[in-house]
């Protein structure tokens, strides 16, 4: 596992973003873990988060793209932090763009904010995590409506590696439905490998009890390893 991935996993735990216990998801599933990217709130946290995303995007998609699109609302700070980190790490100027939930009819009018998307642009979409693909369902036509634009991929922070609407993971369904690549900084398989019986801040995060709960959850809701 790449060093930045291991650091990112510990970073999620340290920030309280990734927790283990018993959580009820919107889908009604009882999950032994939960990720809430809304808990990245400080300058230090957002700076580090942008660096992890930038490294993962660079690994998967290189530098040959023009716009990083963050769907409202959580995607907006992710996109801003990541384009800043991308410049710091790789010296590449990438525009950020995001959508509004409602179009603005005065001043900086329209449904988009940030840098404009224009013909010929190559776009990467950035999100925190996706479980149903609904955000991409809303975002995809907005981006495509801007002109002759190529969406080359999606990057999320965590691949939950569980079934989406059907028998495949949400990321895999996005790949099949929209014909774009879909990746995560880390997968839950990598999280488990990194944290099992390992201390973070003096505490074992995934002990035998948590590991058993994870195994049981994935026996019921897991998918075969489709994406890394």
- Three-class SS state of 21: strand
Helix 134-144, helix 170-178: angle, nearest 10 = 30
45, 15 Cβ separation under 8 angstroms: yes
- Three-class SS state of 161: coil
74, 128 Cβ separation under 8 angstroms: yes
65, 152 Cβ separation under 8 angstroms: yes
Residue 104 designated active-site: yes
Q: How far apart are CA 5 and CA 11, in angstroms?
A: 10
Residue 101 designated active-site: no
Tokens 């283990």 belong to: 20
Q: H-type helices in the chain, by residue range?
A: 3-14, 43-61, 75-90, 134-144, 170-178, 188-195, 208-221
Q: How far apart are CA 192 and CA 108, in angstroms?
A: 45
83, 97 Cβ separation under 8 angstroms: no
- Of the residues 26, 60, 101, 106, only one is catalytic, namely 106
66, 152 Cβ separation under 8 angstroms: no
- Of the residues 30, 58, 74, 104, only one is catalytic, namely 104
Active site residues: 104, 106
């Amino acid at each position: 596992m790449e060093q930045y991935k291991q650091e990112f996993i510990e970073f999620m735990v340290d920030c309280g973003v990734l927790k283990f216990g018993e959580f009820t998801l919107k889908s009604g599933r009882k999950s032994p873990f939960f990720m809430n990217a809304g808990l990245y709130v400080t300058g230090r946290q957002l700076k580090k988060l942008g660096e992890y995303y930038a490294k993962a995007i660079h690994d998967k998609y290189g530098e040959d793209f023009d716009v990083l699109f963050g769907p409202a609302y959580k995607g907006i700070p992710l996109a801003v932090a990541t384009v800043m980190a991308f410049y710091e790490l790789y010296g590449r100027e990438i525009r950020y763009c995001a959508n509004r939930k409602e179009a603005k009819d005065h001043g900086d009018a329209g449904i988009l904010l940030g840098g404009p998307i224009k013909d010929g642009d190559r776009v990467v979409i950035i999100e925190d995590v996706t479980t149903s693909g609904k955000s991409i369902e809303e975002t995809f036509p907005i981006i495509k409506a801007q002109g002759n634009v190529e969406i080359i991929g999606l990057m999320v922070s965590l691949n939950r590696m569980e079934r989406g609407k059907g028998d495949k993971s949400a990321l895999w369904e996005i790949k099949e439905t929209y014909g774009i690549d879909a990746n995560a900084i880390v997968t839950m398989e990598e999280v488990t490998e990194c944290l099992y019986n390992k201390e973070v801040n003096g505490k074992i995060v995934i002990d035998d009890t948590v590991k058993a709960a994870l195994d049981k959850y994935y026996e019921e809701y897991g998918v075969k390893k489709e994406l890394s």
